[in-house]
Chain A
């Protein structure tokens, strides 16, 4: 069974640009969530999508957005990039919620903003 796939693995962008990251969940998983990992802050929850609807949202500015498609694949977008957006962005999927099935993480997209 294929795991969670994130593309691309690495990205270098310039301040002010925008970026789109992609995530393909494990087959059969309807929930996709996104996390940002930085050295000082650990993993911080961005948002979660379930059946194409945003189910939860973290405390990030509106520059961070996401969506989920009917095949459960998800994208997240960051507009007007800032230096502080440099981080590892992790996508995770599960069937419904962590109680029923644990979150399975992808290997992340490393975003560097210069």
Chain B
């Protein structure tokens, strides 16, 4: 039972354009959400997070949107750069982020074309 779903295995975007990565969840108890980026042969690195009390969080080129009623979140990267090419994982926590038990999606491979 996949509680966090990333339905697009891959996404290709032109440099300078917007990248939109999507994530859906089924567990209504999730109240803290995160995005991680992963390069090959490296561990995931934290990008941005959002609490369920907010609907948007912004950090530089990265913005995460949360739609609780639709159980959907998205990561916007503007403008996209070739160095953003990586696998992006969406993750969720039930405990307000008080622990490190995260439920991850299966990832979306982003390719930013120069």
**A residues apposed to B, CB below 8 Å:** 4, 31, 33, 35, 40-45, 48, 50, 55-56, 58, 90, 92, 94, 96-100, 102-108
Contact = CB atoms under 8 A, between A and B. Distances in A.
Given A43-B104, A94-B100, A102 B43 contact: no
Contact of B97 (A41, A100, A105): A100
Interface of B: 32, 34, 36, 41-46, 49, 51, 89, 91, 93, 95-107
Nearest to B33: A98
Nearest to B104: A43
A98 B104 contact: no
B44 A90 contact: yes
B3 to A, nearest CB: 11
B101 A33 contact: yes
A45 B43 CA distance: 14
